Chain A
Amino acid sequence: MSTTLETVSRLIIEVMSNDPLEPITAETSFGDDLELESIELVALAEKVQAEYGDKVNFADWLSQKELDELIHLKVGELVELIDSCLAAESDA
């Protein structure tokens, strides 16, 4: 079974037009390292929604961030968000 990081990495590679040059880790930054274009981040939000359903609202979470934060966002932050939403779900 994939870890959250593995799932997120797969989704990222699906939205990118070019493959990342280095392996994706929790420290990988969407903007600085992956050079994700903003439209690709929109596509990623949609894939996260499709993968996790209503349990994780990535789009909502993104909308509360300032642009500066978005540019430096790290993959690990998304992984943490997903994990905490899933944990909250299973605790409920």
Chain B
Amino acid sequence: MAEIEARGVRFHYQRLGSGQEKVVFLHGFVWDNLSSWYFSVASSVAAKAQVLLYDLRGHGKSERPATGYTLDDMVADLDAMLDATGFGDRPVHLVGNSFGGLLALAYAIAHPERVASMVLVDAHTADETWNEDIRSTLESQGHERDHMIIQAFNEWAGRHNDPRNTRLAKAAEQLIKETSLLEEITRSRIFTDRELARITCPVLAMYGEHSDIRHKGERLAARLPDCTLQIITGGSHVILWEATATLRERVQSWVAEHASPAVEAQTSGD
């Protein structure tokens, strides 16, 4: 299995495709892993670009350390992954779903020179209520929790398939109980206007018409220097599954339209 060590943590990753552009896909928190992007959009994008997917720490087949789950840690993990795999030798396009979009934003604030563009798919953002939002999401139990799992994996989790739901639910429970993810993530700060202004790369923000975080997407899009907002008619939070074909096409065309500028020798702050 493709694994690499970064910041002392073993990460599962997949590298696909070939081409000039480099695209990194970021999955959501707790109930998600790289397979959601792998089977929806990433493999198609890999027809024309180099693609990197990895399981965030604690998720999928990556190692699950007990601590290190602050947003700053996740940003540092992504930075280290780009170095360890060599994938970040030029600016990359980040594509993030849900909380993966939040990670993309945080990364672009911290390392704007490494980001060529971003696609945010019904992305969360670090606004005034997000600490509470994330806590209530991650503490979901029973039916609500099952709903979250189904959201992450659509039919894959299987409406009629309790054993698999149970396995995914169990993994999620272990992640919450055995690590500091909940405590650390909810301690994170809010993105200031000045920070958002640092994200000068082109951003495409796609939100479901009926998503419960659509208003956050609209506000975010207004605050970013170069953001195109696209509302998916009839969509909810899980446009990844509801509008997969649209997303495939849009991400492919976006990447083609926003090809990286040629990289001159850079003194990367050393």
Q: Majority SS of interface residues in chain B?
A: helix
Which chain A residue lies CB-closest to B241?
Answer: A67
Using A60-B43, A63-B43, A67-B241 as known contacts, say yes or no to A39 and B35 having CB atoms under 8 A apart.
Answer: yes
Please report the C-alpha to C-alpha distance between residue A37 and residue B168 in the assembled complex, in whole angstroms: 9
Chain B residues within 8 Å of A46, by CB: 1-2, 14
Chain B residues within 8 Å of A35, by CB: 158, 161, 163-164
Q: Majority SS of interface residues in chain A?
A: helix
B131 within 8 A of A: no
Q: Number of B residues whose C-beta is below 8 Å from A?
A: 31
Residue contact A38 to B155, C-beta cutoff 8 Å: no
* Interfacial residues of chain A within 26-42, with CB under 8 A of chain B in the complex: 31, 35, 37-39, 41-42
Chain A residues within 8 Å of B155, by CB: 67-68, 71
Which chain A residue lies CB-closest to B61?
Answer: A39
Please report the C-alpha to C-alpha distance between residue A62 and residue B43 in the assembled complex, in whole angstroms: 8
* Interfacial residues of chain B within 77-128, with CB under 8 A of chain A in the complex: none
Residue contact B60 to A31, C-beta cutoff 8 Å: no
Chain A residues within 8 Å of B47, by CB: 63
Please report the C-alpha to C-alpha distance between residue A58 and residue B158 in the assembled complex, in whole angstroms: 23
Q: Within the complex, what minimum Cβ distance (angstroms) separates A11 from chain B?
A: 12
Residue contact A67 to B43, C-beta cutoff 8 Å: no
Residue contact A38 to B1, C-beta cutoff 8 Å: no
Chain A residues within 8 Å of B33, by CB: 38-39
* Interfacial residues of chain B within 1-30, with CB under 8 A of chain A in the complex: 1-2, 14, 16
Which chain A residue lies CB-closest to B245?
Answer: A66
A residues whose Cβ falls under 8 Å from a Cβ of B: 17, 31, 35, 37-39, 41-43, 46, 59-60, 62-63, 67-68, 70-71
Instruction: Identify 17 new A-B residue pairs, CB closer than 8 A, beyond the known A67-B156, A67-B241, A67-B244.
Output: A35-B161, A38-B33, A38-B36, A38-B38, A38-B39, A39-B33, A39-B35, A39-B61, A41-B39, A42-B34, A46-B1, A60-B43, A62-B39, A63-B39, A63-B43, A63-B47, A67-B39
**14 A-B contacts (beta carbon < 8 Å):** A31-B156, A35-B158, A37-B168, A38-B36, A39-B61, A42-B35, A43-B1, A43-B61, A46-B2, A59-B16, A60-B43, A63-B47, A67-B241, A71-B156
B residues whose Cβ falls under 8 Å from a Cβ of A: 1-2, 14, 16, 33-36, 38-40, 42-44, 46-47, 55, 60-61, 153-156, 158, 161, 163-164, 167-168, 241, 244
